[in-house]
Amino acid sequence: MSGSSLETTEPSVLREPGTSTPPPRPPVERPSQPELRPSARAAPTVHVVGFWRRLAAAIVDLAIVVPVSLLFTLIISKIADVHLPSSSLHLLDIDLWIDLALATDPALLMGFVLFTAIGMTYLLVFHIVLGRTLGMRLLKIRIIDVYGERPSPGRCAARCAGYLAGVATLFLGFLWMGFDSEKRGLHDWIAGTYVIRA
């Protein structure tokens, strides 16, 4: 090692007395940091929609799905020759409907399966294509994911499965949004979505 390199790397306490100290290095100028300014485009404010507005949208959607389901059920029951017992059928006789459900009446079972299939298809297609159903569009609300974007097809499918879970809990999954601080139902928590004003 040369003496000059030793002088620059050797600490001053280890130097021999009488040797010269190296000249001080000039201060290194660092590039100035740019001033951080808040973004000109702030995150948009969203307003989460509560229980009553969402219920009104669901009623509009049911007014669309129920007649279509009944029409399909009537057509398919004529083709398959499966009918409810018409002689004793009273629409408000709850005992009769419970007996038919417990006996797994083919006509009632077919009607329930068709209603569920048509309803889930309606929800899935409109959630994927528009990010809202026709009832939601009428009431000016829409669905977003946790990132503020329109939900992906996977989230839409999870949301539809969440609707079934909400019904399976005797509608407690839907009533939950009336008490939740974020106004989300079981289907929203399952899919990671919010319903906001459009």
- Give yes or no: residues 147 and 95 share one domain: no
Residue 107 lies in a domain: yes
Q: How far apart are CA 100 and CA 84, in angstroms?
A: 9
- Give yes or no: residues 140 and 170 share one domain: yes
Residue 20 lies in a domain: no
124: amino acid identity, one letter: L
- Give yes or no: residues 93 and 143 share one domain: no
> Residue 44: its pLDDT value, please?
76
Residue 96 lies in a domain: yes
Secondary structure element (H or E) that encloses residue 196, with its range: strand 193-197
Q: pTM, whole model, 2 decimals? A: 0.72
Number of residues written out for the chain = 198
Residue 56 lies in a domain: no
End residue of a domain, out of 89, 106, 126: 126
Total number of domains constituting the chain: 2
Q: What is the mean pLDDT of residues 117-128?
A: 97
End residue of a domain, out of 88, 104, 126: 126
Helix pair 106-129, 51-80: axis angle to 10 deg: 130
- Give yes or no: residues 107 and 136 share one domain: no
pLDDT single digits (tens) 33-76: 555 555 556 667 889 999 999 999 999 999 999 999 999 988 98
Q: How far apart are CA 145 and CA 109, in angstroms?
A: 35
141: which strand partners? 197
| Region label for 63, one of left (φ > 0), alpha (ψ between -120 and 50) or beta (otherwise) | alpha
Residue 168 lies in a domain: yes
DSSP SS3 for 92: coil
Residue 55 lies in a domain: no
- Give yes or no: residues 136 and 198 share one domain: yes
- DSSP annotation of 87 reads T
> Residue 107: its pLDDT value, please?
78
- Give yes or no: residues 137 and 197 share one domain: yes
Asked whether residue 157 carries a pLDDT value surpassing 70, the answer given is yes
Token duo for residue 1: 């090692």
What range does the domain containing 83 cover? 68-126
Residue 86 lies in a domain: yes
- Cα dihedral value 62, 67, 69, 70, nearest 10: 130
DSSP SS3 for 197: strand
Instruction: For the chain, give the percent of residues with pLDDT over 90.
Output: 56
Helix, strand, coil share (%) of the chain residues, nearest 5: 55, 5, 40
- Give yes or no: residues 145 and 197 share one domain: yes
Secondary structure element (H or E) that encloses residue 144, with its range: strand 141-145
- Give yes or no: residues 198 and 173 share one domain: yes
